[in-house]
Amino acid sequence: MKISVTHSTRYRYCGPVRLGLHILRLRPRHDGAQRLLCHELRIDPRPAVSTQATDQDGNVVAHAWFEEPASALEVESRFSVETLRENPFDFLVAVEPLLIAPAAYPEPLRSILEPYLARRPEPAAVGDFAQAAAEAAAWKTTPFLMELAGRICRRLRPIARAEGPPLAAGETLSAGKGACRDFAVLFCSACRSVGLAARFVSGYELEAARDPGRASMHAWAEVYLPGGGWRGFDPSQGLAVGLSHVAVAAARDPEMATPIAGSYRGSEASTMETSIRMVGGD
């Protein structure tokens, strides 16, 4: 499926400010699940220096430095991709200990994946939630991942929360509701509690974006399965990621997948406006 996106973000300040370094993670991935056909990134005012680099998770990251004071900053990302994964289960788990949860990655793979396995302090309820999903799936890894995504989708109420970082997994579970990024963090934490390497993903999802009132970036999770690589699961929809998702950035911690991160010195107040237009089809 071919999908085209125009994503504009505009910051307005009460007066001229000094813009600090801005880090932009807006270039979609180009991998086995999606093919990047074209991408254009426009920044106004034009940076004095701009560079692109590949980060620790393979994301393409732009860095922008500014010299002149500005009263506004606008970032526009335009791209077209072709999503390729018609069957999200087109793989066989290549390591037998990964077929059953709790999972056990062999060395040296485990050492490489250690950051994605490390657990933050969480209430026991998060581990219990994961254990219940694993038991319902007869402790089989792939069925567990689908059961976990389905349970979050069915049992927690989705809400719109335009600003702020994701909530901790225990907080989301206790509240019984959350935004897509909250659900993604909960999914990752639950996976890590049964020994599965997981990371946070930011991107776009076509069906939600068809409604102009709901058009926004989306978040989900990826789990590393030998033989399949990083595979996406969307707990907001209770499904495995296929053709309608466009991945942009992934990281162990959500803040390392933030689309735009930066600072400024000067005005005490600022406003942000975001516009996303997304179309797709065969």
282 pLDDT more than 80: no
- The pLDDT assigned to 216 comes to 81
Q: What is the DSSP letter of 140?
A: B
For β-strands 70-83 and 2-24, DSSP reports them as antiparallel
Q: What is the DSSP letter of 218?
A: E
215 pLDDT more than 70: no
208 pLDDT more than 70: no
Is 136 found in the same domain as 66?
A: no
Is 73 found in the same domain as 200?
A: no
**CB 174 within 8 Å of CB 155:** no
**CB 160 within 8 Å of CB 208:** no
Range of the domain at 136: 96-257
Q: Is the dihedral of CA 115, 121, 124, 126 positive or negative?
A: negative
CATH code at position 272: 2.60.40.2250
Q: Do the domain assignments include residue 78?
A: yes
Is 266 found in the same domain as 245?
A: no
CATH code at position 180: 3.10.620.30
Is 174 found in the same domain as 63?
A: no
Q: Do the domain assignments include residue 10?
A: yes
For residues 160 and 44, the model is more confident at: 44
**Mean pLDDT across the chain:** 93
Confidence class of residue 268 from pLDDT cuts 50, 70 and 90? low
Is 101 found in the same domain as 78?
A: no
Is 106 found in the same domain as 61?
A: no
- The pLDDT assigned to 212 comes to 53
- The pLDDT assigned to 279 comes to 87
Structural domains of the chain, count: 2
Q: Do the domain assignments include residue 91?
A: no
Q: Do the domain assignments include residue 55?
A: yes
CA dist 273 → 8, 91, 232 (Å)? 8, 41, 29
Q: Do the domain assignments include residue 114?
A: yes
Confidence class of residue 209 from pLDDT cuts 50, 70 and 90? low
Q: Do the domain assignments include residue 236?
A: yes
Of 169, 34, 190, nearest in space to 101 by CA: 190
- The pLDDT assigned to 161 comes to 84
Confidence class of residue 205 from pLDDT cuts 50, 70 and 90? very high
- The pLDDT assigned to 272 comes to 86
- The pLDDT assigned to 57 comes to 94
Is 108 found in the same domain as 194?
A: yes
Residues of 182-205 as b/e, b for ≥16 C-beta within 10 angstroms?
bbbbbbbbbbbbbbbbbbbbbbbb
| HSE (side-chain half, CA atoms, 13 Å) at 68 | 9
Q: What is the DSSP letter of 168?
A: P
213 pLDDT more than 60: no
Q: Do the domain assignments include residue 221?
A: yes
**CB 231 within 8 Å of CB 221:** no
- Over residues 215-229, the mean pLDDT reads 92
Q: Do the domain assignments include residue 89?
A: no
Regarding pTM above 0.95, the answer is no
